Chains A and B, each alone.
Chain A
Amino acid sequence: MALKGNLRDFSTTQLLNLINLARKTGTLTIDAKRERSRLCFKEGRLIYATSDDDGGHLAMMLQRSGKLTEEQARAIQSRTDIKSDKELGLLLMNAGYVSQDDIVRSVQSYILNSVYPLFTWVDGKFRFEASVLPFEDRITIPINLENVIMEGSRRMQEWEHLLDYLPDLDIALRFVERPSVRMRDINMSVEEWRVVSFINPRNTVRQIAQYNNMSEFQIRKIVYALLQAGLVELTRPAGVKPAPGAPGKAPVTMRPPAVKRGVVERLISFFQQRS
């Protein structure tokens, strides 16, 4: 049986919940506007995840977790004699570059970081293919979906909060003339500095995100922090759209009909005879 649809109608949380409860084995592919993610499951547990952007190779995972440098990762990926991630893992362990624990943690972290952003996706076609599993050369780590769903839902709430706070990305930022905090007490991350460098009434928040190759979640989080710190302000008020359609009238509770058991039995007997 196919499991196809769109995240507009069936969210990532609902999908993962379904896969968990039905203990499904297979691969879930989600296609959004510019991204494609693949999640693999075995008996309801997440075992692998990747997106088309990065290919999901072990060298890249170890680089992201700081176990390999960019040069080392690039050198490894350019080697053609290493056939699989499993082979590469053994090679690196034998050479003393990483431990088994480093590999497990890096792969797990990569999988989770590939999955969590999906909770904020509100549009994208999905398809679950039963019994299709990742290539054998990939390292898989079984992860309980309950915890993933809980953390994903928490991030979703955070996302919704950010969305409420900053519903429109097509607005600009400007520095406040008299900040209420002392500038020297503020510590900003590299990402925040990158955003700050683009703050100008001519640049919309969306454009700043594009210049810095940031997701909507990332830019909203940073702008939220800057607004909260009182460093910047929106150049025009964010218009929040009213909630769609007022709910209909409340349903009325009625009494069930007074039908005798004998009537129901006659109906059953009638249909059974016709079958």
Chain B
Amino acid sequence: MQTVKIVVTGPFSAGKTQFIQSISEIDVVATERKISRAEERVKDQTTVAMDFGRISVADDLVLYLFGTPGQRRFDFMWEILAEGMLGFVVLLDSVKPETFREARSILDTFRAYAPVPYVVAANKQDLEDAWAPEDLRIALRIPSEIKVLPCVATDRENVQQVLLELLFSVLEIMDAEG
């Protein structure tokens, strides 16, 4: 049995759990706890260890999706989750510019963990105040060769498209490296 791992990371409340829930064939093994810090009470629960989703591609091939905890105090989990990943998705909350700096920092950290392909998914594009992907690229200084994709994490098709684009990026890098 071949297993492949993709990590979904991003700041607190970017929509990582929802992203995995939308595409996973099993109920996401979410390790969520009630929010205790007042400043982070924009949602009821948050991921404290990881989210885990699974997609069976064939009898001998399974894709695992791991969602990282968004809060910095659980960042010791990141390194563990990053080990052996094929690539990663950095999920942004497009309506919360206050999280962009944190997103950039998470991106840099994961890039340092493993030089694997990644894409940036600009989530919550269905909301009126969402920053456009091309503006987010400039705001987060994302290089032109990295894809910044519009995303609505509640939409399964949309999530699937983000994963496909990541896989295309993996192929491109494999081709480039010969």
Instruction: List A residues at the B interface (Cβ < 8 Å).
Output: 1-6, 8-10, 14, 17-18, 21-22, 248, 251-257, 259, 261, 263-268, 270-272, 274-275
Contacts and interface: CB of A to CB of B under 8 A. Distances in A.
A272 B164 CA distance: 8
Contact of B167 (A22, A257, A271, A275): A271
B86 A259 contact: yes
A253 B112 contact: yes
Contacts of B42: none
Nearest to B63: A267
Interface of B: 2, 4-5, 55, 57-58, 61, 63, 75, 79, 82-86, 97-101, 109, 112-116, 128-132, 134-135, 138-139, 157, 160-161, 163-164, 167-168, 170-171, 174
Nearest to B58: A266
Contact of B98 (A5, A253, A264): A5
A275 B57 contact: no
Given A263-B2, A266-B61, 13 more contacts: A4-B97, A4-B129, A9-B100, A10-B100, A17-B138, A251-B112, A256-B114, A257-B84, A261-B171, A261-B174, A264-B86, A268-B164, A268-B171
A54 B169 CA distance: 53
Contacts of A265: 171
A21 B164 contact: no
B138 A22 contact: yes
A3 to B, nearest CB: 6
